[in-house]
Amino acid sequence: MASVGYQSVGDVFGGGANKRCESYLVFPFETSLGAGTRTFLYFVGLAYCFLGLSSITARFFRSMENVVKHSRKVVEIDPVTNTEVVRYEKVWNYAIADISLLAFGTSFPQISLATIDAIRNIGDLYAGGLGPGTLVGSAAFDLFPIHAVCVVVPKAGELKKIADIGVWLVELFWSFWAYIWLYIILEVWTPNVITLWEALLTVLQYGLLLTHAYAQDKRWPYLSLPIPRTERPEDWVPEETNSDNSLSNICDEYSEIHGCGEDGSRNVVDIFSIHSNNETVPLYQQMPQTDDAAEPSSKNLNSEHNVNVFSLWKQQFVDAIMLESPDSRKLSSFLLRLARVSWQLVVVPWRILFAFVPPYHIAHGWVAFICSLIFISGIAYIVTKLTDIISCVTGINAYVIAFTALASGTSWPDLVASKIAAERQTTADSAIANITCSNSVNIYVGIGVPWLIDTAYNFFAYRERLHINNAAGLSFSLLVFFATSVGCIAVLVFRRLTLGAELGGPRIWAWVTCLYLMLLWVIFVVLSSLRVSGII
């Protein structure tokens, strides 16, 4: 791919271009198209990539749900009766699952984009701004628009509050410290330069976050805040009200196939579940279950299991190419039906591609989890290429594109996760924890790992440090983000003190909060864009 010149925005849209951007995405004849046409096509391609991220997110969350649902059998001896007591306990701690699986997984589009940007620029003495710009912009999108959506998601009058304030305060502290730390290493210790030790310390702080959150959840002495946990159900999900005996019997046979909870209920939603409550969702065939503590399965059981695995995998491809027939009772208009079918045709390529992700129940969901992350990385690579070309064709600073379009598009999994948690869980813990933890992961992993790759290579290959492009613009964005984030947390605290909950409440106040948070996001985007463009 060649890259010759850049055009200013005025040249592109004013028709007075003196140079042509010779970069292209697929075919060389793209360069013969007009700048306006190319810009439109590339933005459409970018939007289609974001649609692909939304599609793979569905499979990603189902696989992650199975990972988190994994229980292990524990056999204990009752000291009184001297009999065996069998119980099942979750393998994953909820606080750790929020920070690692949920936050890391939903932030993986940004993390992979930043890592790819670092790898392709390896050996350069100046780090690219695409990754850091996307991650800082993503943090703003997480904090403001996602909070805004979560506030209005609960039903009118319904209040959902954080049950474990202690864990949330720990997560909030590390989230704020992440951006203070980033400003310190950019402007105080080694201005405009990142050293190997700074990058390494940035990554290691993610481990400190995990340790501190776990200590708070377990209420370790000296390492936790003396704040009691309140009103948190064991699985943080609503009680099942309507039970169907026949359906429960089916779910008992294959609790890990989608649509069934561990307790055999059809509509119970696990902590990460995005399953539909629509009764038209097809039930897959029963899968033979094996107990972790049971005797090794026989050859016949293994054979039956393998047959079922391939049957499920085949069904995924069948479902991918089959279009849903519009419900005439709900879509009475011909145009609405046509729009529904057209939309399904648009997403069919993504559905077919992601059907290659193995069924979710294999290895407790880990195989599908890893495969989903691989697909996300592939889409992120295409997004970086599209961003380069859009910046080349339009002359718009790539940093501006990063913290606006890229940040919003790649943060869609965060929005989906928090919205579902706010909608279906009895508390606000996971919905808000996903936001604060994602922002921490953005810095400690999303920026720390790419910088560690570049600084380590430069240190051992050239004995040189890594310089940061547009460090002043990045630092300014951090200051604006920090100031506006204080306003966001303040309104959440105010809602807790007055309404008794962070999410939901009277409809009018929920929408007022939503608009206020969206205004904070607009302020961040406008000020950061003006600073990068040199206007302020």
Percent of the chain that is helix, strand, coil (3-state, to 5): 65, 5, 30
Residue 301 above 50 pLDDT? no
Residue whose C-alpha is closest to residue 244's, from 288, 284, 280, 279? 279
Mean pLDDT of 261-287: 34
Summarize pLDDT for 54-104 with one digit per residue, the tens: 788 777 877 877 887 777 888 888 788 888 888 777 777 777 877 788 777
Of 26-40, 287-301, 488-502, the one with minimum mean pLDDT is 287-301
What is residue 90's three-state secondary structure?
A: strand
Q: Which residues contact 490 (CB under 8 A, 6 or more apart)?
A: none
Summarize pLDDT for 330-372 with one digit per residue, the tens: 555 667 777 777 888 888 888 888 889 888 878 888 888 889 8
Mean pLDDT of 140-152: 92
Please, what sign has the CA dihedral across residues 260, 262, 268, 273? negative
DSSP string, 22-70: ---SS-GGGGGS-HHHHHHHHHHHHHHHHHHHHHHHHHHHHHHHHHHH-
pLDDT of residue 19: 53
First-last CA distance in the chain: 34
Summarize pLDDT for 212-233 with one digit per residue, the tens: 988 988 888 888 888 877 655 4
Place of tokens 């940040």: 407
Mean pLDDT of the chain: 76
DSSP string, 431-457: HHHHHHHHHHHIIIIIIHHHHHHHHHH
| Token couple for 489 | 């947390």
Residue 282 above 50 pLDDT? no
Higher pLDDT, 147 or 395: 147
Summarize pLDDT for 26-61 with one digit per residue, the tens: 888 888 888 889 999 999 998 898 888 878 877 787
Give the CA distances from residue 281 to residues 62, 368, 438, in Å, rounded to whole numbers and listed in that order: 14, 20, 31
pLDDT of residue 232: 53
Mean pLDDT of 409-428: 80
- How large is the angle between the packed helices 130-141 and 471-498, nearest 10 degrees? 10
CB 93 within 8 A of CB 432: no
CB 44 within 8 A of CB 29: no
pLDDT category of residue 207 using cuts at 50, 70 and 90: very high
Summarize pLDDT for 310-331 with one digit per residue, the tens: 788 888 888 888 776 655 555 5
pLDDT of residue 10: 33
Single-letter code of the amino acid located at 92: W
Count CA atoms closer than 13 A to 200's CA, side-chain side: 7
pTM score, whole prediction:
0.72
Summarize pLDDT for 233-258 with one digit per residue, the tens: 444 434 433 433 333 332 333 222 23
**Maximum Cα–Cα distance across the chain:** 90
CB 148 within 8 A of CB 411: no
Residue 8 above 70 pLDDT? no
- Spatial distance between the Cα atoms of 374 and 55, rounded to a whole number of angstroms: 14
pLDDT of residue 305: 56
pLDDT category of residue 306 using cuts at 50, 70 and 90: low
Summarize pLDDT for 110-125 with one digit per residue, the tens: 888 888 888 888 888 8
Residue 23 above 60 pLDDT? yes
